[in-house]
């Protein structure tokens, strides 16, 4: 059975969640305290591993409502399931009228009573009018035969006919009609046989049809009950996990066996059993071998188990290539984890590893044991904030693992952008909460900014990876640099002149202070990177830091001043300084015409080397604020509508020199081959 939708009602923060669509992997995204956990906890109660239990209204009924509103039959969970072909055949064999039914609705209430309803079930064909029509045809024929009998028995037979006819029309509902008609029809048959009355073929057929209809209806009720029981028994078990128990890296086997023998196992003991199950280890065998002083066999078994767990852990844990070693030590079994790729392959006990790694190791052990490595049939996994302690990229690995290595349906909650399935946006459901409405779920991304933030962040990260990143990158400081460089380069190339290399992907860093992070991100992915800095003091310092950290080569860094002739290089410059000064002045005045209308004049301080800073100072002197995005946007517009006024000879010569420098360094970068940035 495949879960298609579920709906939670009257449970903790939930009045009515609304119908929630379910895919193979379904992500419930919402902010803290929005009711995400309550959705999973309520759904689990439909068929938990320990069996269905009654719910406590005091604990579970919404606390802003009166307890008198809650009764045993108050609904909690409503679900819709889809049957596969094999299940449809099983259902039809139990309940013939359900032939062709492919969906079943299963609900539960506060009193642990589950009900099943078959969607599109063919109605039970029954009409009291048709029954009466058959009686009107059969009764006169029987009465005619009665008149042929001795007068002494006629009254008796007539009474039987009257009783039969009355019983067949006394009830108008199918099941009640069948219960009353079956014995009446049997009594009529007995009377006809006693007095050797034979009915003509037509009347015999009509009577037989009534008998068959009564038998079919009486059989339908038990079959319907059996089918509903079958449906609830076929329900997958819901496995809810909100925390993964700590596994002891120094387990005393003898003490564990003693507690097991006295039936006093605790939670940690059961977790140890799960680890032994996954590792194919027998604690009893290890203890017996220790008693027999057979340390060689004991170590061989532990070594085999180490290899089994290590191979699976390496497949799932992609943060580092880890190695697990089980080490028997007298009555103890130690679990060591090491990193073979580090300079020193140091083994550290599991108890002393990071919280994230311990979480993942426990996660792997728990699910491998409980769900047979993620391929358990008839189980749905409900995960509350999985991977909460994992690194961001490890969370992405976990999400990929859930999608590819588990055949089960999985519903999980999260508020982490790295657990949002951006490759399958249809699997995202947003969870919202309001004071009156309580917790509600939308199958489309809706909600306040806090609710939608993980989705926005995930999409933003994905878009940035695909839109502004390529194998060959030119990192610039800001978006206005991106606009202007792209515009001039396209103009030059369109006129048959060299612009920026077409294979370069220009990536705005969002400010000079963010360039080191962007460069580190790109170079860590073995991508070629050039950096274009505005030429000023902070940029020079940033260059020194990049070189000192050996993140990038010195000849992979370009300054805007490379666009000026050697004899006329200014001490400082921005991209805007490559535009002819008179052109930039016209752009500023036109883009700020309304603000400058009341200003008599702007006083420009020519001792300030960068033109953008000169305008910032001049605007500030008259009580205005200057933003370079305005003239930059106007530059783009005029490049299409008034090209001659914008693309002056001086401007194009400056940008051409800069593009030639970038192209030269890019060619050297490509020629290095395997080591693009070191």
- 18 pLDDT band, cuts 50/70/90, is very high
Angle at 86 between CA 81 and CA 92, to 5 degrees: 80
The residue among 620 and 520 whose pLDDT is bigger is: 620
DSSP three-state, residue 419: helix
With a cut of 60, say whether residue 589 has pLDDT above it: yes
Q: Which of 287, 321, 315 is nearest to 301 (CA)?
A: 287
Segment 210-265, tens digit of pLDDT: 888 888 788 888 898 999 999 999 999 898 888 666 788 999 999 999 999 999 98
Instruction: Share the mean pLDDT of the chain.
Output: 88
Locate 585 and state its tokens: 């002045």
d(CA 156, CA 146): 10
Strand 25-29 and strand 428-434: the pairing is parallel
pLDDT of residue 344: 64
Alpha-carbon span 177 to 168, nearest angstrom: 7
Tokens linked to 508: 């705005």
Taking 60 as the threshold, does the pLDDT of residue 34 lie above it? Answer: yes
Q: What is the DSSP string of 228-254?
A: HHHHHHTPPEEEEES--PPPPSEEEHH
Q: How far apart are the first and last CA of the chain?
A: 56
Give the confidence band of 356 by pLDDT, cuts at 50, 70, 90: confident
Residue position matching structure tokens 């290899």: 307
Tell me whether residue 222 is exposed, middle or buried, using C-beta atoms within 10 angstroms of its C-beta: 0 to 12, 13 to 18, 19 or more. exposed
pLDDT at 376: 54
CA 149 to chain centre: 81
Give the list of residues 6+ apart from residue 538 with CB closer than 8 angstroms, or none.
512
Give every CB contact of residue 68 below 8 A, 6+ residues apart in sequence.
Answer: none
pLDDT recorded at residue 341: 64
SS (H, E, C) 506-560: EEECCCHHHHHHHHHHHHHCCCEEEEEECECHHHHHHHHHHHHCCCCCHHHEEEH
User: Which pLDDT band, with edges at 50, 70 and 90, does 343 fall under?
Assistant: low
Query: Residue 570: pLDDT above 90?
Result: yes
Which DSSP symbol is given to 325?
Answer: E
Quick one: angle between helices 174-194 and 128-146, nearest 10?
10
Other CB atoms within a 10 A radius of the CB of residue 665 amount to: 18
DSSP code for 123: P
User: CA dist 104 to 5, 46, 111, 232, 377, Å?
Assistant: 11, 14, 21, 10, 19
pLDDT digits (tens, 9 = 90+) for 96-155: 999 999 999 999 999 999 999 999 998 877 778 888 888 888 888 888 888 888 877 788
- The pLDDT tens digits for 278-317 are 899 999 999 999 999 999 999 999 999 999 988 877 776 6
% of the chain with per-residue pLDDT over 70: 94
Confidence at residue 354, expressed as pLDDT on a 0 to 100 scale: 80
Give the pLDDT band (50/70/90) at residue 516: confident
For residue 162, name the pLDDT band (cuts at 50, 70, 90).
confident
3-state SS, one letter per residue, for 441-504: EECCCCCCHHHHHHHHHHHHHHHHHHHCCCCEEEEECCHHHHHHHHHHHHHHHHCCCCCCCCCC
Beta bridge partners of 473: 505, 529
Please say whether the beta carbons of 29 and 451 come within 8 A. Answer: yes
The per-residue DSSP string of 563-631 comes to GS-GGG--SSB-GGGGS-HHHHHHHHHHHTHHHHTT-------TTSSSHHHHHHHHHHHTT----THHH
Region 597-605 average pLDDT = 89
Question: What span, in angstroms and rounded, lies between the C-alpha atoms of 560 and 663?
Answer: 14
H or E, element range at 439: strand 438-442
Distances in whole angstroms, Cα of residue 610 to Cα of each of 185, 443, 508, 536, 614: 108, 52, 20, 9, 6
The DSSP secondary-structure symbol of 62 reads -
Using DSSP, state whether 292 is helix, strand or coil: coil
CB atoms within 10 A of CB 542: 18
Q: Strands (DSSP E) along 168-310, which ranges?
A: 237-241, 250-252
Token readout for 176 is: 């009640």
Structure tokens at 69: 């509103």
Residue 551 in contact with residue 516, Cβ under 8 Å? yes
Three-class HEC string of 350-414:
HHHCCHHHHHHHHHHHHHHHHCCCCCCCCEEEEEECCCCCCCHHHHHHHHHHHHHHCCCEEEEEE
Element spanning 105, H or E: strand 103-109
At residue 423, the pLDDT reads: 82
Give the neighbor-by-neighbor strand order of the sheet with 528-533: 505-508, 472-476, 528-533, 557-559
Q: Which of 253-267, 508-522, 530-544 has the lowest mean pLDDT?
A: 508-522
**Which one is predicted more confidently, 114 or 157?**
114
Distance CA(367)–CA(244), nearest Å, equals 10
**pLDDT above 60 (res 676):** no
pLDDT (0 to 100) of residue 320 = 64
**Number of alpha carbons in the 13 Å side-chain half-sphere of residue 667:** 6
Look-up of token digits 């599991």: 350
Residue 674 pLDDT greater than 80, yes or no: no
CB 429 within 8 A of CB 441: yes
Does residue 563 carry a pLDDT above 70? yes
Q: What is the mean pLDDT of residues 621-628?
A: 94
- Split at pLDDT 50, 70, 90, the class of 191 is confident
What is the 8-class DSSP label of residue 108?
E
Banded pLDDT at 333 (limits 50, 70, 90): very high
């Amino acid at each position: 059975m495949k879960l298609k939708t579920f709906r939670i009602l009257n449970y903790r923060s939930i009045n009515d969640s609304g119908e929630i669509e379910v895919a193979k992997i379904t992500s419930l995204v919402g902010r803290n305290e929005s009711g995400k956990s309550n959705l999973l906890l309520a759904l689990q109660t439909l068929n938990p591993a320990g069996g269905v239990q009654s719910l406590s209204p005091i604990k579970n009924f919404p606390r802003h409502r009166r307890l008198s509103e809650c009764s045993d039959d108050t609904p909690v969970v409503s679900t819709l399931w889809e049957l596969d072909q094999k299940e449809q055949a099983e259902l039809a064999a139990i309940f013939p009228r359900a032939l062709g039914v492919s969906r079943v609705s299963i609900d539960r209430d506060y009193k642990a009573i589950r009900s099943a309803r078959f969607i599109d079930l063919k109605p039970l064909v029954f009409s009291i009018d048709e029954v009466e029509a058959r009686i009107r045809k059969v009764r006169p024929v029987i009465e005619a035969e009665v008149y042929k009998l001795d007068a002494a028995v006629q009254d008796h037979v007539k009474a039987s006919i009257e009783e039969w006819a009355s019983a067949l029309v006394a009830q108008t509902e199918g099941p009640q009609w069948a219960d009353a008609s079956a014995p009446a029809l049997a009594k009529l048959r007995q009377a006809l046989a006693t007095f050797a009355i034979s009915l003509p073929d037509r009347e015999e057929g009509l009577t037989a049809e009534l008998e068959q209809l009564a038998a079919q209806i009486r059989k339908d009720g038990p079959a319907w009950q059996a089918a509903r029981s079958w449906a609830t028994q076929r329900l997958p078990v819901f496995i809810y996990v909100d925390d993964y128990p700590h596994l002891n890296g120094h387990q005393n086997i003898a003490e564990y066996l003693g507690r097991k023998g006295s039936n006093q196992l605790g939670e940690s003991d059961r977790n140890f059993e799960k680890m032994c199950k996954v590792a194919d280890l027998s604690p009893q065998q290890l203890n017996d071998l220790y008693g027999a002083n057979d340390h060689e066999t004991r170590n061989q078994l532990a070594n085999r188990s180490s290899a089994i767990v290590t191979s699976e852990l390496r497949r799932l844990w992609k943060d580092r290539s880890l190695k697990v070693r089980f080490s028997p030590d007298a009555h103890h079994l130690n679990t060591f984890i090491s990193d073979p790729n580090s300079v020193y392959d140091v083994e550290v006990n599991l108890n002393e590893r990071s919280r994230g790694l311990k979480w993942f190791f426990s996660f792997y052990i728990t699910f491998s044991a409980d769900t047979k490595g993620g391929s358990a049939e008839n189980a749905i996994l409900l995960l509350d904030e999985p991977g909460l302690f994992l690194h961001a990229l490890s969370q992405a690995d976990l999400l990929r693992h859930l999608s590819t290595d588990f055949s089960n349906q999985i519903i999980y909650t999260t508020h982490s952008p790295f657990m949002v399935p951006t490759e399958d946006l249809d699997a995202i459901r947003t969870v919202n909460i309001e004071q009156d409405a309580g917790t509600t779920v939308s199958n489309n991304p809706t909600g306040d900014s806090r609710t939608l933030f993980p989705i926005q962040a995930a999409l933003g990260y994905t878009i940035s990876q695909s839109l502004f990143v390529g194998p060959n990158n030119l990192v610039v400081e800001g978006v206005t640099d991106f606009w202007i460089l792209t515009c001039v380069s396209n103009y030059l190339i369109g006129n048959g002149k060299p612009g920026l290399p077409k294979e370069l992907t220009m990536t705005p860093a969002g400010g000079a202070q963010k360039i080191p992070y962007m460069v580190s991100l790109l170079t860590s992915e073995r991508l070629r990177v050039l950096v274009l800095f505005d030429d000023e003091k902070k940029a020079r310092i940033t260059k020194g830091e990049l070189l000192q950290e050996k993140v990038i080569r010195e000849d992979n860094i370009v300054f805007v001043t490379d666009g000026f002739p050697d004899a006329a290089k200014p001490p400082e410059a921005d991209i805007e300084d490559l535009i002819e000064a008179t052109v930039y002045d016209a752009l500023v005045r036109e883009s700020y015409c309304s603000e400058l209308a009341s200003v008599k004049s702007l006083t420009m301080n020519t001792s300030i080397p960068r033109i953008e800073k000169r305008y910032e100072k001049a605007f500030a002197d008259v009580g205005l604020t200057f933003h370079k995005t305005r003239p930059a946007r106007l530059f783009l517009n005029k490049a299409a509508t008034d090209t001659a006024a914008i693309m002056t000879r001086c401007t194009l010569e400056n940008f051409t020199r800069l593009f030639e420098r970038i192209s030269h360094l890019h060619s050297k970068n490509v020629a290095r081959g395997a080591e693009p940035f070191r």
